[in-house]
Every structure is written in structure tokens, then in C-alpha cells.
Structure 1
């Protein structure tokens, strides 16, 4: 009885406290669920109508924000989760940052990015003057609208097949300089705007201290972290645990970011950027990017949602002039400045137009700068709303404007004087070619991607090399990858089930994709991704059992080789030879078994150069030894 009374009392107290308690405990889950659900719905809608999903994420934030009716998510919790998104975004920027790419287009990217940023910042100060803001507020506003969105720019260039052209190289290099400039500004903003009554001497001293702290952080992360982080990642990789590796990447990104803020008193964004650079220079860059990508994307979505939650639609009525001025700078001031710089540096009009239009939008770094400005009380909610409105409009129409560059170029050609004035002395330097490391080396007889370097993969790679085809191996064994690189063979350490790993291996340019490892749990996904990267690629897959052939074929494999089938054919051939059967009878029986086991004759064609010397006929062996040399259809 006593126990029943105790249980009854506990249940009563729990029920009495549940409304408030559950409200507090579920607030994080409600914010996360409502934000992601709204982002999913609005992102899908905007994607279907041909707009960037970022627009949908911003609109989702408005829908669940405090200024619109319906579900209201917690703004403070959303912003805290968005901080993780900022850290992972900056980690990704550092992970893919390569000085070689910047050096290849330094002649136009460095002066172009700096010049455009200064012009946009100056226009921001002009707007501040007319609206009665302080100079500090105008500087932050100008810097915020000077930075384009990396996500949007890459998407627009990729959709128009310009990512690996001179236009794409210049635009990406331009954006890298902008990102570096933004990182520097984020570090210096607390120093420059943190105290209103500081003298020039105090500001100079503060800048000097900040530079020293940044130098110490860079030295510590690049030299100490450059040794410790790859060593630690190698130890984790040896466990072959995907969960531990992903956890390690997140701990490295978040840990260095938090350490940069707590120990060196600089922004977490800079710490995350440096952490990404360290990992990007190691053997684990591809795998780190692919493993951490889902987490990064999820929190990046929350970042844009949290930005949208701060937008007050009433500002469209109360501040139309400010929003129009902001859009004027983003859609006219920035692209005209970029176009003038590119033309003055004697690049063709087409490149100038394409780069200018691709940069005529604002995105993630703009909101990061604005957020720091608001924390320092030099950026108002009115400016923030104008920034969000300009972002939504500019991101929405940027793909449309980019498609008009051909039309604008044709219009300019109709004026011979104008065309000669603009293109008379234009030239394109080495940007016509991609940096050496950006794509796998092109070979006369094509390229091949081989998954796995066991006995089968080793034999296939030798066969490909002997016939003038240089293979690229994707392998999860780090020791094997390092040995292959020492031997001069191109190898990528990572999981072939991730698109980023396949792209780094060159699947998008390869002629044949060979899945030589059997027993992979995600073979179908690997093949599907290969088809997604390169619809024209020929896919040869290995399986353990005959029952796997239909599923692998549906996934996109052209030919599937199975251990069961190859053993059956090898044993049949051996027994017939022992019984004294002739070559014709052996071939007849072999074809009959192929038809019985595979449903049709196996296509054993492999990518051979048209002028290659035919290989001598050999007796067929099992799939674990080599591919048959005599192709049949």
C-alpha cells in the first residue's frame, strides 16, 4: 500500500508539473522540427520553380519567426544552432581552399575582389549618410553587401556548365579572396567597433594585439595541429569506424573554433577555417568532406532559417527606400564595379559579364558580418531586414540574370566600335586551363575509376595500365592509398558511397567505373552515384552471389560479374578439359552456362584503345584473377 501511495503521489506531481516542464524541454525539439520541416517544404517549392533552395530556407525562417502568425520557433535557440552551421560552413571553406587555385587567377581575382569590396563598402557609407547612420554602421553595412554567396555562385556556374571554364576559375578565385577578406574583417571588427571612446593609439594597439593573437593561433593550428590532427585522424581511421571518424571531424572543427574564441580571443569562424585548412592538406580531406557534409548541410539550413526568423515583413512598408538602395548596390553597383575591373584588366566582355552577374547577390557571409555587427551595436534591425530582403531578391533572380549574359554580349557585338573598344586588347591567360590538381590528368586512351585494391582490383589496374588507361583507385585502407601514391598511381582515400569522393577520383570525366570489391553493403548506392556523376560512364560491378545481379543492374551496372557464376564456368571448363572435350564443345557449354546463369551472354567488353595491339587469347579464369581477354556480346 505504501508503495502504491508513493507511486500515486509521484504521478500526480509529474502530471501537475508537466505543462510547463514539457514546454521547456520540448522547446529545442519544436524549434528544430518546425525549422527543418518549414525549410524542407519551402526549399522543395523554390527548387521546383527554378529558384535557389536558399530562398526557400529564408522564407521558412520568416514563416516560423515571431513576426508572422502560426508556429513560432525560439529565435535564441535557432541562433545558437546556427552558430554550429557557421562553424561547419567555415570549416568547409577551409577544407576546399587551395592556394594553387587562387594563384592561377591572382592577376584578376585579387585586385577585382579587393576593388569591388572597397567600392561596395564606399556605397554603403553613402547610404549611411543619407539615412543618418554613423560611419561605423555604414562601413559594416557596406562590407556585408560586398560579399557574395559561395553556395549560390557555385550552383549558378555549375548549372550553366561554366564552373570549369575561365569564367568559373576567375569567379571562384574572386570569391576565395572575398572570403579571406571577410575572415580578416570578422577578426578585426571587435577591435575596431568594440569601444566607442577609443583613441587612434588605443585602436592601433588593439589591432597589434589582435594580429599577434591571430599569428599565434595560425602558428599553433598550422604547425602543432598540422602534425597532431593528421596523426590522430590516422589512428581513428585504423579503427574502420565511420561513426568515430565523423565524430573526430566534428570535434576537430568545433574544438578548434571554440579554442580560438576562448584561448586566443578571436572569432570561431577563423578557428574553423584554419581547422579546415589543416584537414584539407592531409590524406583525409576527401573523406572528411564527405563524412561531415550531411551534418554541415543540416546546420547550414538552420543558419538561413534563423536569419529569416529575424525578418520583419512590415519593413517592406516602413523602409522601402532603404531596401531599394540596398538592392541597387547589390544588383547594379557591385556588378558594374566588377565588370569595369575585369575589362580594365583586359579580359573579354563575356568573362566580365559572367563574373559580374554571378557576384550580383549576397548570402551567408553577409549575415555573419551583420550578426557580429548587431552584437557590437553598430548594426540595426532595420539594416538587417534590408539585408535579408536584398538577399531573397538577389538570390532569386541571379540564375535568370546569368542566362542573359549571352544576350548582352550579342547586343554589344552589334556595335562594332563598342565591341572593339572592349575586346580590342583583351586576353585570357592560363585560366583557360584548370589547375593541374583540379582534375585528374587526361590520358590518350581514357580514364578509369576502380573501387577497391584487393586481388581483383590489383589485377584490373595492371590490365588497364598495360593498355594505356591510367586508373584512379578509391580505397578505404589508408596504408594502401599511401603506397599507391608512392608508386605513382593516383589514389583517393574515402568512401565510394559519397559523391564528393567519386568526384575527386574523376568519375565525372572517366570512361569506365569498375566496382572490384565484393560484399559492399552499399554497392547499389555506389553505382547510382557513379551514374549521377557521369550518365555516359560504363559500369562494371562485382558481386558475390547471382541473386545480386538484378538489383545492381537496376542501379545502373552494365555488366555484373559474380563469384558463383565465374566459379561454375571455370569448374565446367576444367572438367570438360579433363574429359578430353574439344575447344568448340567447351565454348558451346560455356555459352550455355552463361545464358542459364546470367540470362544473356555476358558483355565482357572493357575500355581498350582503338589502336591497341590485341591481347592473346587466354583460357578463362575466375573473376578473382582477371577479366577474360576475349570480349563477347
Structure 2
């Protein structure tokens, strides 16, 4: 094909093969991203047939990273980020140190690499892929939960650490006097640059970006609004990298973060969604293009050892750290599985290491092999978190203690008024729907059950009875005094666990009535057949509310005198 068609042919091959193999993966009950990775392998330089432009594919996938991080920032407020700093900051630092030590020890002690090369290799194994994590959390509607915010905050800390690592790695290849002073000066400059970027975005960006979108919105052009959204995400990300030396992913994240406070955050997220999905596919294709299948034949033991560090070493280290920080077992499992993969920063680190002559060529092959295996298995690991948690809790008293953690928020305070615990409404889930419903209930006694620690703490600080825990656990329902409740109202996006929850609740209170919001006709029928006394269809309930508004008689104008 003509040289001028390189971009078009690469895009056509990448999207076409990703679609076909993604469908085949779904039919085989595998994650679609396995198909995307295989598409990259087939058009990569290590397999016969058409070879796509790897450099172009990597640049396009970087656009996907920017747009995805911009979308995360649109839904991740500064208060969310600060609320998880107690676990994300120490957890990410210690976990990265542990994973770097494991990878460096493997490379230096077993394979005999130089210490500098071993450290770069270990760092590449220590940092997880933002793209993989976000797609996994979004697919399971975990992104806006407490555990999801912890996982995202953890990766934000990792990204900040990588910014520092990328400017310090060249010092590993330098020798001579003054090295210590030069290193200290480099660290100081980097920290000042990052602090300056954050300050500019949080102070100036909060005013400039919303004002810009407001001006574009006044034109009434959807096309211009979409263009402004994409320009803000990509332009600020590239500008942050050029002016402050931070990663483009981090720059895009903070662009979305400051825009979140504006009235256009939801619309901006909606307008950029198709582009985010398309370019995220290109990220997985670009990863596949880096893979040389012959590494499995040449160095099978080295590949297995690399995968073991990612899937076992990082997972155990992260899970243990979360438990040591006195968070429940469910949080430990979610965070551990979230970090059991590597991605974009790993390749950036290896590329820098190779350009400086620090790492041998086989390091890239091993890291890419580890990335493909861990990315392909990550959705399967996520799907096993909840069954594993339930299985362990059913068989281990020690695990049940870990889940409860002797947390005072898992029990109602002794001074809770008795009037709040007779004929009360037990509200499960305090997200957008739960919050709105609670406001409408007025003076009715309510006990909230939620798995988000920050939500329960905030409710209790305002005098609202609230219990931290999983409503599917008997002890959580007992703490909510379900035996005296009049209603069980489930305000969760995922209603698959409602029948089991209702069966357990009615063992404690046979007269209990239950209300659930269904999102589809199939859900409505299934919930009704499962014994839910009141199932509301979301669209129908909205239509009925609007009908009541428009059916109200108009007030008569006062007669003129």
C-alpha cells in the first residue's frame, strides 16, 4: 500500500481485526480485550502477513489513555482523592517498593543483570495499567464505590511516582563526582514542577475551563462542544507534559478533575465516551503488536517468573498492605486484583531504559509477555473476587473477623434513639438514587446500609443512623434492626443479589416489605417473580412523575381590580 496510507491501513486493520476477534472472544466466554490483544499480535512485526505501523499505533493508544483519564477526572472529585489518601499514599508507595524489590531480585539474582537494569525491570512490574483498571471497574459498576475510589487513588499515586522515576532513571546511567548533588537537585526540580502543575490546575484551571465550555455551549453547536471537550483533554495533557514534565495521563486526569465542578461535567463525559472506547481498543492492539510469541519458546521459565511477580507477588503484597491498614477483606481483594496487571507506564519505562543502554533487549519481551498474560486474565480475576470472598467468609471465622475488622461503623451506636429503630426503612445503598430518596422521606425513620466507609462516617456525623457493611450478610442486617423494620429499600445499580438479600431479610422479619428499582423489563419481571413486593421500572416511574407535574391544574390569576 502507498506510504501515505500507513495511518489509514493501520487503523483499518486494527479496528477490523479487533472487532472480529473481540466477538470470537465473547462467544468463547472470554473478555473482549483478549481478542484486541490477539489482533495486535497478528498485525505486529513478529507475525507473518500485514504489519501495522507500531509507532503510529502507540501514539494513537496514548490519545486513548488521555481521554480515559480525562473521563475519570470528570467523575473523581478532589474530596474523593483526599478521602483515600490515608490508604492510597502509603499503600501505593510500599506496594511499588515491594514489587520493585521482587522484580529486581529476580533479574539481578537469577539472570545476572546489572543492578540498574534490574531496578528498571522491577519498576516496570510495579505499576499497573490505568486503562485496564478503569475498564474493569466500569464493567462491574465499581468505579464510584468506596473500593473503586481507593483503587483509582492508588493508581494516581503510582502515576505521580512514575513521573519522578522517569526523571531519575537517567541518573542510574551516570557516573562521576557530584552525582548525589545532581540527583537531589533533579528530585527537587521534579517535585516543584509537579506541585506547580497541580496548583495551576486547581486554581486557574477551575475558572478557565468551565468558562471556556460555557462560551462554546452558548453557540448551541454540539459539534463545537465535543471538539472543545476533546481539545481540553488532549491539549491540557500535552501542555502539562511539555511545561511541567508530568505524564500526559496525569495531565488529562487533572483536566477532568477541575472540570468536574462545572455544570457541563456530565455532558463532557457523555460526548467523549465514544472516542474513549475506540481509542482504548487501540491501546490493547498496540500492546499486542509489541509481543514476540517466540519469547515463550526461548525463555519460558523467565516468562513464568515475570508473570508470577505480577499476578502473585503484587497481589499478595497489595492485599496484605490493605489488611494491615485495617480495611475490610472485600477492599483488600478488590485492590489486590486491580493491581494484578501492568501496562502503559511499564513500556515507557522500558523504552527509556533501552534508550539509555540500561536494560537488555530481552527485558521488553518479558515485560510485554507479562502485560499480555496479566491483562488477559485480569477480568477473570475480577469476576472471581465476590465468589472467593463469600467462599472464604463461609469457611473461616478469621476471615469474617477480617471483614468486620472490629469496625465501630459496622455497629449502630448504643445511643441510637429507639424511635429510629421501630417501623424504620432500611435503605441499602447511598449513591445518587439513595441520596435523593432519603431527602424525599423527610422525617420517616431510616437506617442506611452502605459499603463505603466515607459515606457512613458522613451520615453519622449528621446524626443519621447508618451501618457499614454488606447487606447480604446477616450480621449487617441485624445491626440495622431489620426485625423491627417496615421496609427494605434497595437503591443499588446492580440488583442481581436482591433475591438472596430478600430471603435472608425475611428470615429475620417475615412481614418485611421490599421496594427495588428495575432498569429493564426483564429485571422487573425477574424481581417480581423473586418475591419483591414493589418493583418500580425506572423509565415508567419517571414518566409517571412527569405526568403528575404536567397534570396539576394551573393556578388561576387573581382578578384585576
TM superposition score normalised by structure 2 = 0.69
CA distance in 2, matches of 1:437, 1:413: 28
Match of 1:147 among 110, 113, 127: 127
Deviation at 1:342, TM superposition (A): 2.8
C-alpha distance in 2, partners of 1:423/1:228?
45
Alignment partner of 1:75 out of 54, 68, 74: 54
Give distance in 1, aligned partners of 2:75 and 2:32: 22
Conserved 8 A contact 1:188-1:210: no
Q: Is the 8 A contact 2:116 2:172 kept in 1?
A: no
Partner of 1:626: 551
| Structure 2 residue aligned with 1:441 | 435
Which of residues 186, 204, 227 in structure 1 aligns to 2:163? 186
**Superposed counterparts of 1:1-150, under 5 Å:** 23-129=2-108, 130-150=110-130
Counterparts of 2:300 and 2:171, CA distance in 1: 30
Contact 2:121 2:350 in 1 (8 A): yes
2-side partners of 1:624 and 1:339: how far apart? Answer: 51
Distance 1:242 1:440, change over 3 A: farther
2:152 corresponds to: 175
Residue number in structure 2 paired with 1:246 = 226
- Residue 361 of structure 1, CA deviation: 2.7
Tell me the equivalent position of 1:516: none
Q: Per chain length, whose mean CA-contact separation is higher, i.e. which structure has more relative contact order (CA < 8 Å, sep 6+)?
A: 2
After superposition, the Cα gap between the structure-2 partners of 1:209 and 1:340, relative to the gap in structure 1 and judged at 3 Å, is: closer
Displacement after TM superposition at 1:68 (Å)? 0.6
User: Structure 2 vs 1, CA of residues 217 and 50 (structure 1 numbering), >3 Å: closer, same or farther?
Assistant: same
Aligned counterparts, 1:196-345, within 5 A = 196-197=173-174, 199-345=179-325
SS of match in other structure, 1:65? coil
Residue pairs, 1:208-607, within 5 angstroms: 208-402=188-382, 403=384, 406-407=387-388, 410=391, 414=395, 418-419=398-399, 425-427=405-407, 429=409, 441-443=435-437, 508=493, 531=519, 536=524, 606=545
Measured in 2, the distance between the counterparts of 1:431 and 1:54 equals 42
CA drift of 1:163 comes to 6.0
Indicate conservation of the 8 Å contact 1:43/1:56, yes or no: yes
Cα 1:300–1:239 change in 2 (3 A) is same
1:162 is displaced (CA, Å) by 5.9
Unaligned runs of 5+ in 1: 1-21, 448-464, 466-505, 511-529, 538-555, 562-604, 608-621
Q: How many residues align?
A: 455
1:153 to 1:380, Cα distance in 2 relative to 1, 3 A: same
Are the counterparts in 2 of residues 507 and 534 from structure 1 also a CA contact under 8 Å?
no
Aligned mates of 1:421, 1:146 — CA distance in 2:
30
Higher mean displacement: 140-149 or 32-41:
140-149
Q: Is the 8 A contact 2:171 2:183 kept in 1?
A: no
Q: State the Cα distance separating 1:379 from its structure 2 match.
A: 4.7
Cα deviation per residue 1:387-435 (whole Å; 9 max; x = unaligned)? 232233223333444426645764575465x558856854375899999
Residues 558 and 179 from structure 1, CA distance in 2 versus in 1: closer, same or farther, beyond 3 angstroms? closer
Larger radius of gyration: 1
- 1:257 and 1:82 map into 2 onto residues whose CA distance is 14
Secondary structure (helix, strand or coil) at the match of 1:443 reads helix
The answer to whether the Cα contact below 8 Å between 1:136 and 1:193 also exists between their aligned partners in 2 is no
Extract unaligned runs of 5+ from structure 2.
413-426, 443-490, 496-517, 526-537, 555-561
Alpha-carbon distance between aligned partners in 1 of 2:244 and 2:37, rounded to the nearest angstrom: 33
Maintained 8 Å contact 2:287/2:372: no
- How far is 1:188 from its partner? 4.0
TM-score under structure 1 length normalisation: 0.62
Going from structure 1 to structure 2, the CA distance change for 1:203 and 1:154 (only over 3 Å counts) comes to: closer
TM-superposition CA deviations, 1:92-135 (whole Å, max 9, x none) = 34333323334444444433333222211111111221222333
Q: Distance in 1 between matches of 2:191 and 2:521?
A: 43
Deviates more, 1:29-38 or 1:370-379: 370-379
Q: Distance in 1 between matches of 2:139 and 2:407?
A: 26
CA distance in 1, matches of 2:130, 2:520: 23
